[in-house]
Amino acid sequence: MTKLPRSGWLPALTILSCAISGTFNASAQTAPVQLPADIERITTTGSRHGADDNDAPVIISAVGQQDINLVSPTHIEEVLKFIAGAQVQRGNGQEYLPALRSQVFSGAGACGGLLTAEDGIPLRAAGFCNINELFEAHSEMAERVEVLKGPGSALYGSNAVHGVINVITPDTTQGGGLFGYDYGSYGYSRVKLRSGYHYGDGGVGLNASVTRDNGYRVAEGLDQEKLNLRHEHAFSSLTLTTGLTYTNLEQETAGYITGTDAYKDAQLAQANENPEAFRNASSLRLWSRAQWQLDGGDTLSVTPYIRDQDMEFLMHFLPGQPTEENSQQGVGVQSLWTHNVSASVTLNAGIDAEHTEGSLLQYQEQPTTGSAFLVATIPAGKHYDYDVNASLIAAFSELVWRNDSWLLSAGLRYEYIHYDYTNNMNSGRLREDGTACGMGGCRYSRPPSSKNSFTNASPKLGATYLYSDTTQFYANYSLGYRAPQATELYRLQRAQQVADLNSEEARNVEFGVKGNYPGLSYTIAAYYMDKDNFIFRDSNFFNVNDGQSRHTGVELELRWQASQRLDIALAATMASHTYRYNQELGGVNINGNDIDTAPNTIADVRIGYNFTPQVRAELELNHVGEYYTDPENLHEYEGHELVNLRSSWQLTPELTLYARVNNLLDTAYAERADFTSFGGDRYFPGRPRNYMLSATYSW
């Protein structure tokens, strides 16, 4: 497989920047044009308040509403691939595994490497992440999706190790609205409604969607409903904004298909080896942001919030197929004070706190089938039953200094998190009734009730040099962290009685260049990250965290208005994600190997053409490079290239029609591929060529 060169980044970065700048300067002298209007200039993720992030010493990428409308995504993967460094491997239905400047996250607690949020409120409490949690955000009808790349722990705390994905919902309080209908292949349909009322000093509004999908594979399908409510009222020096999000998912899940290259067989790809699998999930979030305009241009915002989530699903991928039920209810508050120390120095500071009560139950209704060892060690009945109360408090501050040519920033966050764990069953590796399993004991082990605490500090330094009105260079150093997740501490296996874990830490160095010309914008970034205390399950099935990994890469994002009619958007990544610790697996030392499910190359190109101001077509080419599917690097997936075609036609100022063809060339591919020692090669197959028609009426 192709490896990323370990050196030579700076010359390559400089040459590429000069080539882009020089090429565009030559063309711009004869045909200056403007970028599409939906390219976002104001973001909230990088600073936790609306700000122009163009000169910030970080990369914050955004997918705007115009792109979201044209794609009309059925899954957030369809728009996150527009972001260099991001990858989402879809499972079935709304399930997925994410990656951001990393391998695809998998395994218990791995979701803690990436923080996800809606309107700045984390979707899950620290310590209680779920790998599929982004389906609890209303990305299908978002105003934009923002991605902060690299450690964001200085602002967001635990879990923002590789970055932050923040779904921004539309401000419906300004009036207007839309009604839309999507109809697609395999019985897909979705109704969309957005409406608001503005009454002078404020307004109210809603943003809703109802989805039905019969699915491509046997015995799969889903019903999903999502709702955003918004209220805003402005007083003399205070603006009060309140939001509510409710989501509900009822999904019949199709599991992996097994066998080498099984996804290439049309009958196998449509089959379902686990027709009994399901996932049901509901979530509710309520927040209210009070923002005061203070003397001297200072601002203060305080945002209390509540979360309530429940999920139940069949673990069809495990022997015995147990069912998991998890829930969490919590309250929290975010605060941010912005103070102008002087004309050139700004201080941002705040305190965050939250308390969460979570629970998890895993039980198996039927006896295990399979080998004598599995039958003896995985009994029917309850495997885990525990509650965890978690409390978090954190303080952060950031100083920003700027003049005509430079911006310097320095930030620090200090965070304390405490878990109070109660085991509601017998302790150890026994059956629910207290009897011992044969062949050495039961597979699942429960630690006795206990308390655990973790403290972490996260510094961040950054600098931006404004080389010219159109070009700037930036660099930053940051340290990200995540406390162990509850499932890593209290959901043990085999002979492990206690998981003695520390927080994962990632040290990241990054530099790059940003260009912004009439008709062209681009960012080029290079990063080098070392992660320590990497938490994993070793060959003894113990949760340990003496792992280490290295993540290096170069990214390019570009949008070019080549002419009044033609525009091109590119997001490309070349990266290397490797193990850097000694561990023997199957007689192979994995030190230096590629981390499994980590393509070295990912690219997405969109070529748009406006036939008239009302008619647009866009051709998308998506590339996912080959990757290994096991840590030993003995098995691999060959990668794939997909072509999608979409178009829009604005019939009237109010009515727009859309047409889309996904997988235009009908390519056989896998959304996700992996390898297990007990099951061999297995895949979530991608859908063959499929279609969607949409109509949207706006007012």
* pTM of the entire predicted model: 0.93
4 found inside a domain: no
294 found inside a domain: yes
Share of the chain above pLDDT 70, in %: 93
Q: Does the structure show a pLDDT above 90 at 23?
A: no
For residues 506 and 537, give the distance between their C-alpha atoms in angstroms, rounded to a whole number: 19
Segment 80-126, tens digit of pLDDT: 999 999 999 999 999 999 999 999 999 878 899 999 999 999 999 99
Residue 278: domain span = 9-698
CATH number of the domain to which 678 belongs: 2.40.170.20
Q: Does the structure show a pLDDT above 50 at 631?
A: yes
390 found inside a domain: yes
Q: Does the structure show a pLDDT above 60 at 31?
A: no
Segment 646-692, tens digit of pLDDT: 999 999 999 999 999 999 999 999 999 999 887 899 999 999 999 99
Three-class SS of 149-174: ECCCHHHHCCCCCCEEEEEECCCHHH
612 found inside a domain: yes
Q: Does the structure show a pLDDT above 90 at 21?
A: no
Segment 482-510, tens digit of pLDDT: 999 999 999 999 999 999 999 999 999 99
Segment 296-342, tens digit of pLDDT: 899 999 999 999 999 999 999 899 999 999 999 999 999 999 999 99
1 found inside a domain: no
Token duo for residue 404: 């005509």
301 found inside a domain: yes
Collapse the DSSP code of 70 into the 3-class scheme (helix H, G, I; strand E, B; otherwise coil) and give the result.
helix
Per-residue confidence (pLDDT) for residue 37, from 0 to 100? 38
Q: How confident is the model at residue 371 (pLDDT cuts 50, 70, 90)?
A: very high
Q: How confident is the model at residue 42 (pLDDT cuts 50, 70, 90)?
A: low
The helix (run of H) or strand (run of E) holding residue 66 is: helix 65-71
Share of the chain above pLDDT 90, in %: 87
Separation in Å, CA 509 to CA 154, 462, 463, 576, 684:
15, 10, 12, 15, 35
DSSP state of 498: -
641 found inside a domain: yes
More confident residue, 592 or 16: 592
Q: Does the structure show a pLDDT above 50 at 18?
A: no
Mean pLDDT of 187-191: 98
For 662-680, b/e burial (b = at least 16 CB within 10 A) is bbbeeeebbbbbbbeeeee
Per-residue confidence (pLDDT) for residue 36, from 0 to 100? 40
CB-based contact 388:448 (threshold 8 Å): no
Token duo for residue 488: 């890593």
Position of tokens 């599917």? Answer: 629
Separation in Å, CA 351 to CA 284, 396, 416:
24, 6, 12
3 found inside a domain: no
Segment 561-602, tens digit of pLDDT: 999 999 999 999 999 999 999 999 889 999 999 999 999 999
Separation in Å, CA 545 to CA 105, 495, 667:
16, 17, 40
The count of domains in the chain is: 1
E strands in 110-237: 115-118, 121-122, 144-149, 163-168, 176-184, 188-198, 202-213, 221-234
Q: Which amino acid is at 487?
A: T
Q: Does the structure show a pLDDT above 80 at 405?
A: yes
Q: How confident is the model at residue 30 (pLDDT cuts 50, 70, 90)?
A: very low
